[in-house]
Amino acid sequence: MANDEESHWANTTSVSEFILLGFSSHPKTQLLLFVLFLTIYLATLFGNSLLIALVKTDSRLHTPMYFFLANLSFVDISYTTTTVPQMLVHLLSTKRSISYVACVAQMYIFLSLGIIECILYAVMAYDRYVAICHPLRYTVIMNRSVCIKMAISFWVSGFLFATLNTSFTMRLPYCKLNEINHFFCEVPAILKLACADTHLTELVVFVMAVIILLTPLSLILISYVFILEAILRISSGEGRFKTFSTCTSHITVVTLFYGAAIFMYMRPASSYSPERDKKFSLFYNVVSALLNPLIYSLRNKEVKGAVFKLMGKTDH
């Protein structure tokens, strides 16, 4: 009896590799996509690396807000590096396979970084709340020790939640089907290949998505309610605009990231659409990482001043 069970388990977990179908099988389209994604990837690396370098070298940026922004840039670099280089190789190759172990590792790292980014956005909102609502106590509340503890917390939380999510997804048996209609190993696409009832796993993934996405988002919204109240108490219109402008970059990146992530992970499994979902994954994985440094630099005088200083120009 025991031997039969072992044999059954071996048969139902026979998949040793997966095939990533990606975006297109047409050679000319693949070459065009390769050039496009390579350009986006290099621009993402440059923009985020520059932001990290500016925060490290410019004393004007040695504040909690920029400390967390540097963390965000590092997450974005890691996030895109988890998926894009492999996608570029597959666009130029006829072999688009990824081993079972590599697929699990990619899923785990991708989820970890995504969850870290979710929590990090909430921490950045709290930082803006303290800066605007308690300006006199800001340096005391958001001291270096507190910032480091916050950073450790969202990094550890990300890897912990990802361990649970990945474990529930990969505990399912994967048999003959091994073609993933995606450009990387993402949970919704992987679950479609399981040769067992996935309802419980889908429920667990959904509940975890609610906790991971909506809890930080709720904290962000609460922070901005208090921030809005504080802004409305400012008597001058110019003062209100100046204060609110310090939050616009954060609001923009949060809207872009959470909008796509909530659509991907907080909807019924029956609404799964491979082609549409690949585009949404591309947006919050690749495009948002490209846009983040642009949004923060274009709307921020301090970052622009640091860039001019780095270029040897005088900041006026």
CA distance 188 to 21: 15
What confidence tens digit (pLDDT) does each residue in 210-254 have? 888 899 999 999 999 999 998 888 878 777 887 777 788 888 888
Using an 8 Å Cβ cutoff, are 20 and 273 in contact?
no
What percent of the chain clears pLDDT 70, i.e. is strictly above it? Answer: 90
Highest mean pLDDT among 121-125, 250-254, 267-271: 121-125
Name the residue range of residue 271's domain: 19-301
Single out the residue of 167, 155, 87 nearest to residue 115, CA to CA: 155
Give the DSSP H or E segment for 17: strand 17-20
Domain containing 124 — which CATH number? 1.20.1070.10
**Does the pLDDT of residue 315 top 80, yes or no?**
no
Pick from 50-54, 181-185, 196-200, 312-316: least confident: 312-316
Q: How does residue 127 score in pLDDT terms, banded at 50, 70 and 90?
A: very high
In a domain, 292, yes or no: yes
Which pair of structure tokens corresponds to residue 29? 């389209």
In a domain, 174, yes or no: yes
Across the range 245-266, mean pLDDT stands at 82
In a domain, 81, yes or no: yes
Q: pTM of the prediction? A: 0.85
CA distance 47 to 44: 5
Residue matched to tokens 């989820």: 111
How many domains is the chain built from? 1
Identify which has the larger pLDDT, 135 or 315: 135
Q: What is the pLDDT of residue 242?
A: 78
Give the DSSP H or E segment for 293: helix 288-298
**Does the pLDDT of residue 22 top 90, yes or no?**
no
Start-to-end CA distance of the chain, whole Å, equals 80
Across the range 197-211, mean pLDDT stands at 85
Using an 8 Å Cβ cutoff, are 183 and 83 in contact?
yes
Q: How many residues can be counted in the chain?
A: 316
Q: What is the pLDDT of residue 291?
A: 86
Phi-psi group of 120: left, alpha or beta (phi > 0 → left; psi -120 to 50 → alpha; rest → beta): alpha
Q: What is the pLDDT of residue 11?
A: 42
Query: C-alpha 261: how far from its chain's center?
Result: 8
Q: What is the pLDDT of residue 37?
A: 92
**Does the pLDDT of residue 41 top 90, yes or no?**
yes
In a domain, 253, yes or no: yes
CA distance 294 to 249: 10
Highest mean pLDDT among 24-28, 56-60, 159-163: 159-163
Using an 8 Å Cβ cutoff, are 119 and 131 in contact?
no
In a domain, 89, yes or no: yes
Which pair of structure tokens corresponds to residue 165? 């999510």
In a domain, 307, yes or no: no
CA distance 178 to 5: 23
In a domain, 3, yes or no: no
Q: What is the pLDDT of residue 5?
A: 40
Across the range 94-107, mean pLDDT stands at 89
Pick from 101-110, 198-207, 292-301: least confident: 292-301
Q: What is the pLDDT of residue 9?
A: 38
Across the range 190-212, mean pLDDT stands at 85
In a domain, 73, yes or no: yes
Across the range 284-288, mean pLDDT stands at 83
Q: What is the pLDDT of residue 108?
A: 94
**Does the pLDDT of residue 182 top 90, yes or no?**
no
